[in-house]
Amino acid sequence: MRRLAPIALSLAISGCFYPASRGRTLESRLEKIDTTQAQLQQEIKRTREQLDATLPRIDEKIAEVSKALQGLDTASRRSGADIGIQLQKTVEDLAQLRGQVETYLYKMGELESALARASEDTDKRLLALKGDEALKEAEARKKAEELKRPTDKKEFLALAQSKAKAGDVTVARQLYNEFIKKWPKDTLVADAHFGLGESYFTEDKCREALFEYGKLLQDYPKAEATPGAYLRSSECFKKLKMQEESRLALEELVKGYPKSDAAKTAKSRLAELDKAKKGKK
């Protein structure tokens, strides 16, 4: 009854094709971006080192001022003018050091902003190279992050299912995948895989859908959603013009889950296939 799982897995893997020329372009751009980011990070490091060297001097000047102020009461043997000159010089030194610190802080802020912009630009370029689908997934990820997550696993799964039902399949996929990572050993993971398969099926992404359905066939043969996964697998194989595999899925469904509603549909479709086959003879 698990003969379909390896087929689904191989189909999903074969669907992940990335052109070599596109990959080389991506690597070249990444190298340039990495160089720019490394230079910015090095500049930030140097500025921090300058700031760290300046701060102790400020602390030293502050200590001098404090000491001078504490000694005013006992400095009667020195003229007021001498004390005023000393304090004025100390204040000027502090102002100069404060100016240096502010310059370093401003420079660090500018460098960190430039680094953030470079990182953001890197993400955008990578997404653009990967195509519109990657952009959609990134937007969905951002949208999903803004959602309040239920702590209860059933409510969490229900949230993902509601998003899928509303047509927001990319967000639903983010939630389904998050559910699988959060509760990998739970039996509800079967429903999450089926939900993922359905989200791909609605977009005619049969190879991706077959991978998720295959997880049920292979790892969750007793799950409530498994008969439906067989039926969907048959439909996916048919769309991929893999008629033999499509029929096999129906036969395995009838054989393994004869009392399920999905099996009734499978029997009807098998009968239609037999009738069509006889008509051709």
DSSP secondary structure letters along 145-181: HTSPPPSSHHHHHHHHHHHHHTT-HHHHHHHHHHHHH
- Cβ-Cβ contacts under 8 Å for 63 (sequence gap 6 or more): none
On average, the pLDDT of the chain sits at: 76
Range scoring the smallest mean pLDDT among 16-20, 31-35, 167-171, 176-180? 16-20
201, 254: one domain: yes
156, 273: one domain: yes
What is the rounded distance in angstroms from the CA atom of residue 25 to the CA atom of residue 184? Answer: 37
CATH code of the domain covering residue 188: 1.25.40.10
Name the residue range of residue 238's domain: 151-280
Q: Residue 275: its pLDDT value, please?
A: 86
The answer to whether the CB of 185 falls within 8 A of the CB of 177 is no
43, 119: one domain: yes
178, 263: one domain: yes
Please identify which residue in the block is written with the tokens 């399949």.
Answer: 169
Query: Does position 69 have pLDDT exceeding 90, yes or no?
Result: no
**Residue 5 covered by a domain:** no
What is the rounded distance in angstroms from the CA atom of residue 183 to the CA atom of residue 171? Answer: 18
Average pLDDT over residues 93-98: 69
159, 269: one domain: yes
State the pTM of this model: 0.56
42, 158: one domain: no
